[in-house]
Amino acid sequence: MVGLSGGAEGEFLLRRAARILSRVSGGELMAVHIPRSDGVAGSVPLALEGQRQLVTDLGGSYHSVGGEDTARALLDFARSVGATQIVIGTSRRKPLLGVLARPGVGARVVRDAGDIDVHMVPHPLGGKSGLQFSRGDLNRKRAIVGFALAALLPVLVQLGTGELSLQLTMLIQFAATIAVALVGGLWPAVVAAMWSSLLLNFYSAPPLGTLTISDPENLLALLVFLMVAVAVALAVDRSARRSREANRASAEAATLSELARGILASQDTVQVFLEQVREHFGMRSVALFSGLGGGGAGGGPDGDHGGWLPDASVGESPPQSPDAADNVLEISDHWILGLSGRILPGSDRRLLAAFGAHLIALEQREALTLTQREYQQLAQDNKIRTSVLRAVSHDLRTPLAGIKLAVSSLRQSEVQFSAEDEAELLATIEHYSDRMDALVGNLLDMSRLSADMVSPVLGPVTWQDVLPAALHGIPSGRIRRDLPANMPPWRPIPACWNGSSPTSSKTP
């Protein structure tokens, strides 16, 4: 299994994985892309599309999986499909301080892989993104480090300032508080601000060694210092949350963009789409329910979803009703999507609603495709019917002319016909009448076939059964039949019944 970040190094990793796979027998190549929401450079759509095509050309399969933790989502998917080897690239970033930055995806995959072999492949883009902090929401580890700095950093600053003035010491403590806010967020910064204020009051504001402040200006300065420090901490905390929301929105946009390209560029069915939903959200099973008897999207009077039956499903033990699913998405008045495996958080539910909109688009595309095929079939039938009518109208003129001539001759009172001549004219009328009856019968049969009122029975027939009907109406003296007695039976081509021409035909 190859983990794709969406960058240009994905092609390099896929080809390396293909070489590894060529050394074993019975293996399967899978590429997995997990949209990032941690601030690392996002995927390049053109590069990702090229990698999707590359893994298909290599005989593998492409998958898109969602998850807050990229390493965990990658390992969960690997275990769900029974992968034995994972190929990932080296990290594209270098953390500023190991204690402040979270370990990279590769390091966490190696740490938690267990019995899965992990191949860390160096690539040209490895470690070229420079020094940076991990953006996004402040995780628990950073909060703990922030509280530790809030307790130690003001004391170190106070000890290091020595005999400096109150104003200069206050500025240095303010810088330390900002540093704590950048690392730990709001509450560690508030603790650092209050702790710094107490230290300034005790060690720098006269009278020294007490918490009493004799100069009102010093009291005002300490209060301003505390308020500014808290305001900066609030701004940093809000910025971190906004950054996380923006990163999440970017990851969701990348997922939806990739989903839209897949729907527009492929001929995936609803079954394939449900499998994509199951893989992306890490569900055990996904089922699509269709409404019956006006059940409505709101369910029954008691809030249940009665009157719904499963229309398509994927995964293990799919729910048989919307009430049995862990997550329910009411797509429209006629469709409900049920997911089982875990309860989705609110952010994933918003993304699931977007998947539901794409499912409606997929259903509409399939309906339009079916309608287009029906229209093409009707147009083809009309074309065949018009061609046959033109040919039959020409063929009908010959028997009609023969019948009219024979009847007109018999009605002439001036001419006396012998018994042999009258019999010949009557035989001509009968012959042409039978020929017209056969033509009209063929037209009726063609109409029944076009209207799907009857279905042709396709099977081998012998030439002796076909030729008499085909040569009906042709004088026996104008054609000679010379067929061996052991002629093999002729098998009709099914395509001939829907109006298309056979690819080849051979007649003796």
DSSP string, 259-289: HHHHHHHS---HHHHHHHHHHHHT-SEEEEE
What is the domain extent for residue 207?
140-242
Spatial neighbors of 222 by CB under 8 A, at least 6 apart, are 170, 197, 200, 201, 205, 213
Q: What is the mean pLDDT of the chain?
A: 75
State the Cα–Cα distance between residues 498 and 453, nearest whole angstrom. 14
Contact between residue 196 and residue 177 where contact means Cβ atoms under 8 Å apart: yes
Q: Is residue 192 part of a domain?
A: yes
256-264 contact pairs (CB < 8 A, 24+): 256/351, 256/354, 256/358, 257/45, 258/33, 258/35, 258/45, 258/48, 258/64, 259/64, 259/355, 259/358, 260/358, 261/45, 261/49, 263/358, 263/361, 263/362, 263/365
The answer to whether residues 184 and 206 belong to one domain is: yes
CATH number at residue 77: 3.40.50.620
Confidence of residue 393 (pLDDT cuts 50, 70, 90): confident
**Least confident among 156-165, 188-197, 346-355:** 346-355
The answer to whether residues 103 and 62 belong to one domain is: yes
What is the average per-residue pLDDT within 457-469?
Answer: 79
The answer to whether residues 376 and 414 belong to one domain is: yes
Q: Is residue 335 part of a domain?
A: yes
* In the block, residue with structure tokens 């074993």: 24
What pLDDT sits at residue 97? 40
The pair of structure tokens assigned to 307 is: 């009157």
State the Cα–Cα distance between residues 311 and 290, nearest whole angstrom. 6
Say if residue 138's pLDDT is above 60: no
The answer to whether residues 287 and 360 belong to one domain is: no
The pair of structure tokens assigned to 78 is: 């690997």
What pLDDT sits at residue 445? 78
* Cα torsion through 360, 363, 369, 373, rounded to 10: -140
Say if residue 214's pLDDT is above 70: no
Q: Is residue 248 part of a domain?
A: no
What pLDDT sits at residue 150? 85
State the Cα–Cα distance between residues 9 and 466, nearest whole angstrom. 66
Give backbone dihedrals phi and psi of 52, rounded to 5 degrees, phi first.
-60, -45
Look at the chain and report how many structural domains it folds into: 5
Q: Is residue 265 part of a domain?
A: no
Confidence of residue 137 (pLDDT cuts 50, 70, 90): very low
State the Cα–Cα distance between residues 445 and 456, nearest whole angstrom. 10
pLDDT in tens, 17-72: 888 887 777 788 888 887 765 544 455 566 777 788 888 888 888 887 776 678 88
What pLDDT sits at residue 172? 85
What pLDDT sits at residue 342? 83
Spatial neighbors of 299 by CB under 8 A, at least 6 apart, are 305, 306, 322
State the Cα–Cα distance between residues 119 and 23, nearest whole angstrom. 15
Say if residue 292's pLDDT is above 70: no
The answer to whether residues 495 and 442 belong to one domain is: no
Which residue has better confidence, 45 or 145?
A: 145
Query: What's the burial of 391, exposed, middle or buried (CB within 10 Å: 0-12/13-18/19+)?
Result: exposed
CA-CA distances (angstroms) from residue 118 to 81, 115, 185, 298? 16, 9, 35, 48
* In the block, residue with structure tokens 């701004």: 235
Closest CA to 93 of 128, 121, 122: 128
Say if residue 334's pLDDT is above 60: yes
Task: Give the end of a domain, one of 132, 156, 174.
Answer: 132
The pair of structure tokens assigned to 455 is: 């279905």
Confidence of residue 499 (pLDDT cuts 50, 70, 90): very low
pTM over 0.85: no
What pLDDT sits at residue 54? 85
Q: Residue 25 — left, alpha, or beta (φ > 0 → left; ψ -120 to 50 → alpha)?
A: beta
Say if residue 405's pLDDT is above 80: yes
pLDDT in tens, 112-126: 888 888 888 876 555
Confidence of residue 199 (pLDDT cuts 50, 70, 90): confident
Q: Is residue 17 part of a domain?
A: yes
Residues in the chain: 508
* In the block, residue with structure tokens 């009448």: 433
Closest CA to 80 of 109, 116, 37, 52: 116
